[in-house]
Structure formats: structure tokens, C-alpha cells
Structure 1
Amino acid sequence: MTAYLVGIDNGSQSTKVTIYDEHGTVHARGRVPLRPNAMPEPGAVEHPDDDLWDSIGGAMRAALAVFEGRVEDIRGVGLCTIRFCRALLRADGTLAQPVLSWMDDRVSRPYEHADPDVRYVTTSSGYITARMTGRFRDTAANYQGVWPIDTDTWSWLPEPDVPREMLFELVNPGELLGTVTEDAAAHTGLPAGLPVFATANDKSVEALGSGLADDGTVLLSLGTYIAGMTTGARNVRDAEAFWSNFACRPGKYLYESHGIRRGMWTVSWLRDLLGEEDRLNEGAATVPAGSDGLVAVLDWLAPVEAPFRRGAFLGFDGRQGPFHLYRAVLEAIALTMHGNAEAMAAELNTKFERVLVSGGGAESAVLMQIIADVFNRPTRTANGGAGLGSALCAGVGLGLFGGFDEAIEAMVRPGTEFVPDPATHQLYRRLGAMYAELPSHTDPLFRWMASALD
């Protein structure tokens, strides 16, 4: 009898539900886009109404509607949601106010109790767990930043700055959160009593589902925020080139490099301006490496420490057209992330021998080849992601696998490999050295522009 596992991936732009078997084969998918964020005042960014729970219900029902297996053969659910959100709940587990997005200024500050209706303070995963199971339990691996958690022990600090009775019970990835309630069954279409298992923060779950398992591999996550990630056993504090996050394996850590804000968003923005993505990818493949001297500066969303920065294209001389613009952005992504990954590797005293790439950008053959040529390493697409990582956690929790390594071996399938071209790499090596110096030249210009336009 086939055992099926459900992976929930509630991301920043949509909720995706995928039903897998224990071999990693996809049997059904459902997706519901999230509604635009509400911004009721400067600095406030909220998920409107009950959008997260509504989208999970809609995506689950959509997946079940096309699922050809028996619903009673679904063995468990893995739950992954957006990291760095904050949910304020009433005593019954419903929202006292809309969920605060990771972009909301308030989540960068410790919680201040101002609303008497608030009984619990939790993450987005804690909130969805409460709605799904009726239990006030959450994964420890989705608490990072200002939460009162001991990152060595994965437990609450002895004297948290939030009253302990307002915090959820913590469990590790792969452990049981609870079972689907009758109300949640009516909302999602899942059977009541189905076990729901903890995962981690969305980047760590994505890393697990992509097959990241050793410190000789770097995973480039091509999302709205582009990051480079690797894994290890040390809780590295006060690093300069990366930060340590909880991994999706108990006791392990995910090291995350500096990244690109609005990374693949910039690619989508350019595509909307210039035309169809397939045509742009085909055209960009005909442009020589280096884009005939055109260089993109990718600060379409300025970093917090340098708010004056802006995005730019430099080096026009009349040879360039729309395909050059597109390739220049793809090259800037690869060059930026190579520099960030190398800085992380140096601080970790390791060397990356392989590159994995996840996210929608991995579907672009021209971008994959650029990454392989820039890194000068074999570069492979990751077929999984947070949905598969969620299902892996459910499989481990159910005992279908002897552990996370066995689950990866059973369910994660290798993607397409791209081999670097040595001559192209030499060109990119020279371009990368120039690219690393660009901010020292563009920062004074953008500072002057910001002051002139203020």
C-alpha cells in the first residue's frame, strides 16, 4: 500500500501544497496566491484578515481535488510557513490582529503587550499549528531574531522577556505537533485525526528538501530574497559574512550568507518590462559573457545599512539591447552570490565543491550556466524545496525512514547538472574582481543623489 505525505509550503507570495509518495513522486499540487500585504501605517506590513489560514485551506482543497490516490492513505502532514512573522492570538487560538509580516518594523523589536485580547505570542507556524490541531505547540526551529530563545539548546530562555505562559511549547523538526481537528478537516479537506509534524523556518526546510546535507555544498536559494546557504553542527555567533539559523535537523545549523533583496523580484520586474521570460532567456543565451560591457547593480531594494543605494545599469555604448539588460541582471546575481558565498566559506574555513540551486530561477538554463561558470563548480538544480522538505519531516516523524539522511536518499532526486566552461570562468573571475569594487564608486553618487532629492 502506498503511503502519501503532504508538504505545506506557506511562502511570502503564495501557499503551495504538494502530495508526495514515500519515494518523492508528486501526485498532486495546489497553489493559492497570498493577497497583497496591508500597510495601515508607515512601517506596518500585515497579512490581511486571515489570509494565511485561508490560503492553506484553499491550496489543500485544490491539491486534494486532483489527487487520484485514496485520502485515507495519506499518513501525515509537514507544516512549513514564512519565517520572521509574528502572530498575536486570543485564548482560543484565533487571531487578535492580522499576522505581522517579516517586513513589519515591529517584528524587529521585542513584543510589547498592549492588547488585553492577546493571550499568546507566536510565529506564523505556531498560529497555523493552533488552527490545524488545536494545540499551542510550535517548532523551535522557526524562532530567530528577537524571540527569547537559547539558540544552543533550542529552548526558551530561563527568564524570557515575554511571560512564559504567553509562549508556545517547543518541539523539534520531525516531531508531532498534533492531529487535524474536525474544524480544520472541514476547512482543508484532510481527514480528522491526521498527524501534523513540525519542520523549521522556510529557508531551512527548503535546504532540506533540496538535499543540502554537507558543508562542501552551497545552496543558492533564488527567491524574492536570494541567499547562499550551507550546513554545519556549530552555532557560530558574531560571524561577519553570514548568520547562523536553526537547520531542519535537530541540533544542526544552517549558515546563511549575505543576500540580494528583491533578487528574483528584479528579474520578474525586468521581464514585465521587456517581454516573455522564455524569449528573454533564449535571447540572453546569445549574448556573450560579460554582456558586451553592461553591468547591473542590484540594489532595487536598498539594504538597511545603506538606504541611499539604488539599482543601476552601467556601461551602455549602443551595442546593447533588451537581451543584454536581462543577461546583465543574471550575471549580477551570480557574481554577487559568488562573492557572498566565498566570504562565508572563508569564515567557516571550508571550501565549496558543489553548487545546488533552488527556486524558480533554477528553471532558466542560461542562469544555471552563468552560475556554473562564475563559481567554476558543477552546478545542479534542486528538484525539491520547502514542500518536499516538509513531507520529509512528516516521513521521519512517522518512522517511514530511519532518519533525515535516509529520507533524503529515498525522496530527493538529483536535478540537471551544468558543467563550467574554463574560458568563460576566467572572464567572470576578472569581472567579479571589478564588480566587488563597484560600491566604492557608486555609493558616493547615490549618497549625493539621495541628499539632492531629499
Structure 2
Amino acid sequence: MSARYLMGIDVGTQSAKVVIFHTHGDVMCSAQQPLRTLEIPQPNRAEHPDDDLWTAVQQACRAAMARFHQLGGQDHQLLAAGLCVIRCCRVLMRADGELAWPVINWMDARLNQPYQHADEYGSVRWVTTTSGYITHRLTGQTQDTSANYIGWWPMDDLRQDWDAGKMAACNLQRAQLFDVVRPGEILGEVTSAAAQASGLPAGLPIIATAHDKAVEALGSGALAGDEALISLGTYIGAMVHGDAEPRSSDRFWPFQAALPGRFLYECMGVRRGMWTVSWFRDQFGAAAVQDARDKGVDIESLLSAEASTVPPGSDGLITLHDWAAPAEAPWRKGAIIGFDGRHTRAHLFRSLLEGIVLTMKNHVDPMMQALDRPLTQLVISGGGANSDLFMQLFADIFGVPARRNAMRSSAAIGCAINAGMAVGVWQNYQDAVAALVKPGETFTPDARHHAHYQRLNQQVYQQLHAVLDPLLQRLSPLANV
């Protein structure tokens, strides 16, 4: 039997990634295309410039297919492609399929309320998600996954279909919405026009997945009820898989999973989480660039190595991650407190990472308590999982083992799993996960460090909002003069 392959198309906030897998689990080739910087024309607005998502998908697909052919792959051996695109965005399309307005990113305050038409949008025929839009670009179909409608959408998550009773509240009509299918079902096939633009084979089946974090949860292998996925992206999220019927709580939200008929429970996360790390590198790392070159390492590795020599708690330097304010507290801002003469760039870098992990612990623990489940293991996904320091911080602060997989891009794996199930490569999702998910290193907690972080968290970190919120409320109008 000739080799067979599956493709994962994973479009995040910062890049489009395409990975081609052998059906037995190994990666054949991959390609990545960075997205352009978001346009922020005013506070609380964020848009993807021009048609950047589709442009990046085309470029990443062309590069991956070129490498596929160079390695001897033939088009007929590529069975299907799973498609996963960033969640919680809003796409306004004209009747001809073109964008009526740039894609509205999840950090935009307009998404905190139902869709409202504005004259500047022009003629809007369809209101959809990023996955619906890219599906239409690839297949010409007006179809989307049911599992990427989060927020102000009239979706019945239990039935995984539109809810006529929610249309008015969402200010939408059924005629404005795409048809939906479930994760693991076929959205359509690549058209000849899309094949010419992207390099994908015409007729290639495009398979529905879910929203990006749900697809990461599937692709990370975090399927057990006592293990949580930490997804290290521009938005850092944490989630656990749930049962066939969603539960509600003020500690978490239920979403459709990439496993058909299953749900995910997700707590609050860190907005602009890994963006903060990139911000520090780009704004304050210039002095370290030459040091990194002299040592033959990249700047992230250098900063992590330096920060590893700093004691737990960063000698009293504490970072509060509110770089993007939540909707319920728009006046919040990030804070770094506790500076003294001992502190170096290594302290600041470590403090940024510690702040991320402490914030996530303070969201995950209440979720697990509300679910009445123990937390026995973390699975860490995303580029940040490359850092041994970051992995150890998760283990030390949470007090449970933290595992990373051999391939950090779990969403691409989840895409391939959904794609393979759709075309009959595997009989069940457990077999698919066993084939594609390759566990990597596990970091175990240091008991002394865990005890120190527990004291720091309870005595200081958990008190910061109560102390700083009144000051930040008074600062907000003065900072926006």
C-alpha cells in the first residue's frame, strides 16, 4: 500500500501553520507563514489588515505542498485536510465572498456585544467566523463547524445547530448565517480556483474541527478528566474535557469540543499572554542580542537561561498580567511591582513567566473545585512549551507534573485527527490520538519551590487586584487624555 497523508491547517493570531502527517503519525513536512501585525486604530479595536488570514493560508499551503512534492509526495496520497482557525472573531462578507470589512479580531471590544451593522461596513451578506470564511475561500461552500461559535451567536451547543430563539438577541437572521456541520465532518472540497491560489490539490476534502483551543485539547492528548491543557498562545487558556451535556458555573464555561458530542470546560485565561513575552523580547532585548549571538543561541534561550539562575519569586519582583483589560474591568492595566537594586533583565523575564503561571493557577484551581475533580497533570501546548524554565514553573507553581509533547503545535495534530476520522483512517478517536500524539518530557514539581510559590500566591498575588483596582480606576481617565 502506498503512503497516505493527512494535513492540518492551523491559523492562530500570529501565524498560519500547515503540517502534513503520515497516517502512522510521523510529520512529513510543515510550513509556517507569520501574520501581519494587528491594526489597532483606537483603544479596544483590533483588526487583521487587508485579507491577511487568507493570504497567510495560501502562502503556508503553497510552501507545505512544495516541500511535500520535493519529498516525493503525490497529490492523490493526501487524503484530507482539517481546518482550524482562531476563535471569537467576526467576519463580515459580501455576497461575492469577499470581505466587506477587515476581520475583527477577538481582542476587539465590538465582540463583547451582538453584531451591529455600521454604514462603514457597506453591503454585508454573511456574518460568520474565521473558520467559515476560510472554508468558503477553499471550497466555495457556505458551511462552517458548529464548534467555533462562541459569544454572541445563536448556537445551540447541545444540538450543535442554530437556535431560532436566540436570533433576535444576537441581532442576526438565519439567512445571514452559514450552514453548520459537526467536528469530523466534511465541509467541502478544494475548488480549482482555490487550488491554483493555495497549491492544494483540487477536490481535497476540507474537514471541520472546532475552535482553536478545543482542537489543541484533542491534539495534545489531554482527554482524561483529571488532566488540564494549558494552551500557550497570544491568549493563554486552560481547559478540561467534559461529558456529553454541558454544566454551567461562574468558574468555567462549556464549549463544544473537537471530539464530536463532547464538551470542554474552560476557565478564564491570560489575554495577550505570550504576546507579553514577545513584547519584552522586542522592546527590552536589544542589549541581549549580541550576548545571544556570542553564545550561539537565540535570544529566548538566552533569556530563559539567565532567568533560570534567579530564585523562585524573582527576589520579590511581581508581574500582574492585565495587559489587555477584561470586559468587566476595562480600566485594568498590567503592573510590575517590587523593584529594587538586585533586579536585572533576568529577574524581569522570570517574573513575567511566573505571573502567567500564577494567574493560570488562580483560574484553574477554582474550575477543578467546581467540577469536583482532582488535578493530577498538566499538558502544556504551544511554542512556550519549548522553554524548560517555563515548564518547570508550571510544575512548581501548580504542584503537579507538567508534560509537553514531542510536537508543540497540538492544534495541527487535532486537525489531522479530525481529518483522519472523517475519511476512515481510524475507527475511533482513541486510536487516532495514540497514532499522532507523541508524548515528550514530563517536569515534576520541586516541593520546596511549590511551598514558596503557595505563600507568595496566597499572601501577595491573590491580593493585587483588590489593592490596585481603585488606583487603576482613577488612573484610567488620566492615561487616556
TM class by shorter chain equals over 0.9
Cα distance in 1, alignment partners of residues 37 and 336 from structure 2: 29
User: Is the Cα–Cα contact under 8 Å of residues 158 and 246 in structure 2 kept in the other structure?
Assistant: no
The structural deviation recorded for 1:348 is 1.0
Task: State how 1:249-288 maps to structure 2 within 5 Å.
Answer: 249-272=259-282, 273-274=284-285, 275=288, 276-288=299-311
Tell me if 1:176 matches 2:160.
no
Deviation per residue, 1:66-105 (Å, 9 max, x gap): 2212232111111111112222223343323332222333
Q: For 1:135, which of 112, 131, 141 is the aligned residue? A: 141
User: Is the Cα–Cα contact under 8 Å of residues 100 and 122 in structure 2 kept in the other structure?
Assistant: no
Cα distance in 1, alignment partners of residues 101 and 276 from structure 2: 31
The answer for the alignment partner of 2:163 in structure 1 is: 157
Tell me if 1:71 matches 2:94.
no
Segment drifting more, 401-410 vs 272-281: 272-281
Segment drifting more, 107-116 vs 367-376: 107-116
The 3-state SS of whatever aligns with 2:427 is: coil
Cα distance in 2, alignment partners of residues 157 and 13 from structure 1: 32
Cα distance in 2, alignment partners of residues 127 and 296 from structure 1: 38
Q: TM-score, normalised by structure 1?
A: 0.95
The structural deviation recorded for 1:235 is 4.6
Task: State how 1:246-395 maps to structure 2 within 5 Å.
Answer: 246-272=256-282, 273-274=284-285, 275=288, 276-382=299-405, 383=407, 384-395=409-420
The 3-state SS of whatever aligns with 2:31 is: strand
Cα distance in 2, alignment partners of residues 116 and 303 from structure 1: 30
Cα distance in 2, alignment partners of residues 202 and 413 from structure 1: 20
Aligned residue pairs: how many? Answer: 454
Q: CA 1:106–1:437 in structure 2 vs 1: closer, same or farther (change >3 Å)?
A: closer
The structural deviation recorded for 1:144 is 1.5
The answer for the alignment partner of 1:16 in structure 2 is: 17
Cα distance in 2, alignment partners of residues 239 and 126 from structure 1: 29
The answer for the alignment partner of 2:200 in structure 1 is: 190
The structural deviation recorded for 1:197 is 0.5
The structural deviation recorded for 1:277 is 1.5
Tell me which amino acid in the other structure corresponds to 1:315: G
Tell me which amino acid in the other structure corresponds to 1:294: L
The structural deviation recorded for 1:179 is 0.8
The structural deviation recorded for 1:304 is 2.5
The 3-state SS of whatever aligns with 2:164 is: coil
Q: CA 1:296–1:41 in structure 2 vs 1: closer, same or farther (change >3 Å)?
A: closer
Q: TM-score, normalised by structure 2?
A: 0.90
Tell me which amino acid in the other structure corresponds to 1:124: T
The structural deviation recorded for 1:184 is 0.8
Segment drifting more, 64-73 vs 240-249: 64-73
The structural deviation recorded for 1:116 is 7.3
The answer for the alignment partner of 1:57 in structure 2 is: 58
The structural deviation recorded for 1:41 is 6.1
Cα distance in 2, alignment partners of residues 86 and 440 from structure 1: 34
Unaligned runs of 5+ in 1: none
The structural deviation recorded for 1:236 is 4.1
The 3-state SS of whatever aligns with 1:85 is: coil
The answer for the alignment partner of 1:81 in structure 2 is: 85
User: Is the Cα–Cα contact under 8 Å of residues 237 and 244 in structure 1 kept in the other structure?
Assistant: yes
Cα distance in 2, alignment partners of residues 251 and 396 from structure 1: 14
Root-mean-square deviation over aligned CA pairs: 1.9
Cα distance in 1, alignment partners of residues 302 and 110 from structure 2: 42
The 3-state SS of whatever aligns with 2:84 is: strand
